[in-house]
Amino acid sequence: MDAAAADDYGRSYHAATAVAAPERPALSIDLDVDVCVIGAGLAGLTTALEVARLGWSVVVLEAKRVAWSASGRNCGFVLPGFACDPRTIVARVGLDRARQLWSLSEAGVAYVRTIIRERELPGVQPARGWLDVSKTDDLDDMDDTLALLMGEFGAAVEGWPVEQVREHLRTDAYFHAIHYPNAFHIQPLNYALGLAAAAEAAGVRIFEGTPAREIDPAGVRKRVATPGGMVRAGHVVLAGNVHMGEIMPQLAATVLSITSTTAVTAPLGPRLREAIAYPGAVSDSRFANHHYRVIDGDRLLWCGEGTCFPRDPMKVAQRAFAPAIASVYPGLGPVEFTHAWNGSMAFAIHRMPQIGEISPGLWVAGAFAGHGLNTTAIAGNLIARAIVENDDTVRQFEPWDLVWAGGTAGRVLQEARSRLRNRREAIEAGLARSRDRKRQAGALPRYRQDDDPADPPPPAAWAEV
């Protein structure tokens, strides 16, 4: 990707390592199609591709560039589940429906893997595995989660004891972990660009630099006005992430815009592999999690510090990420960052995606913060099947309706809640490390010897990515 195009994507490392992508024209004529998708992110592109595969005509309108926002700026984790805790989902809809939702989340992961394989997407660089690590020595929460995921959902997960975690992540900051062997991580911008190419090969027309200015959802044929032309369609899919405020303020009011920062270090050489011997993605147990993974052999990609009030990304990297890395991996020594960028995610207060029909022929696909790569795949497939085949699986998400997010007050409350919880968790993590040092010195009993939460089966072989 050339320098001008990289500017369009926030000068991210993803843009610096992106495959070549065409600059698509703006809409300059009126069109009449079966489905109009607003937003060329992962949700919009997946919807368009699947609708086209089912034989209907589709146009995608994108105000900026393909995957310009969160879809091209995220940390690239392809994970099962949702941002909402699975126990909360069970409490909301019951065990049977929660199982079905978990299966859908795994299908979303499988879909991304299949697209990468079928299309032989260049530059995506999938690497398998995800560790969700605990920064405290309290096993109860992990035991409960494993019992639900393995015992009730039949999920392919494993409980890792302290010794196994520290064999792969050489730090005393982490204790037990849940390992997801079928999860993986990718270069997300290249995946999105490949998805766009797949959609166009299936007959989808994508127009960049084409903001939707007005939607008239009345009648059988909905109308979407843009600066250069009008689109008439039987169905309109709103897949514009946090950028729907101008044309759908009621929808925009149901999400908080959360800005997350991602940064990439300069090459760290052999010392990185000495500290991190795990090839997959890692998330810690903070409320506003830190996520990271090794990329290009000896660079560290670090992501987190979600906030409702965006800050300069390089300052976040230097003032928040660098101390966090030093705390977890002091042996790495000082790190420098070559790239840092922000991405904006839509976050619903119930922490579940917004997927479904909000009025006849008008669909929403949004609020994917926290688990965007699998849930955008879910949304695109379910909405396409609902539109073309009248499949009602999409109704699995009806319990999580469009709920007002609180406006400015909601942003302030979310920020305060996040800071207070992170402060509390930092204290708990510090106490856990203190207890750990005492255990090492023999002043406290060792970790429980079964160290086998929820009696998981023998470790499964890692799935090919």
Interval 291-300: pLDDT, tens: 999 999 999 9
Interval 5-48: pLDDT, tens: 556 677 899 999 999 999 999 999 999 999 999 999 999 999 99
| pLDDT band with cut points at 50, 70 and 90 for residue 440 | confident
pLDDT exceeds cutoff 80 at 209: yes
259 with 346: CB under 8 angstroms? no
CATH 3.50.50.60 residue spans of the chain: 23-76+187-254+351-405
| pLDDT band with cut points at 50, 70 and 90 for residue 459 | very low
Give, as one character, the DSSP assignment of residue 193.
H
What is the share, in percent, of the chain residues with pLDDT greater than 70? 90
Between CA 43 and CA 373 the distance in angstroms is 9
pLDDT at 464: 45
pLDDT, average across residues 323-327: 94
pLDDT at 457: 39
Instruction: Please calculate the CA angle 101-159-175 and round it to the nearest 5 degrees.
Output: 120
pLDDT at 451: 46
CATH 3.30.9.10 residue spans of the chain: 125-185+256-347+407-465
- Mean pLDDT across the chain: 90
pLDDT, average across residues 34-63: 98
The superfamily (CATH) of domain 23-76+187-254+351-405 is: FAD/NAD(P)-binding domain (3.50.50.60)
Q: Collect all residues with Cβ–Cβ distance below 8 Å to 74 and sequence separation of at least 6.
A: 188, 260, 262, 303, 343, 345, 372, 373
Smallest CA-to-CA distance from 182 within 78, 296, 87 is with 78
How many CB atoms within 10 Å of residue 447? 16
Q: Name the H helices within 339-406.
A: 372-389
pLDDT at 460: 38
Between CA 270 and CA 66 the distance in angstroms is 36
> Domain 125-185+256-347+407-465: which topology?
D-Amino Acid Oxidase; Chain A, domain 2 (3.30.9)
Question: 178 forms bridges with which residues in the sheet?
Answer: 132, 159
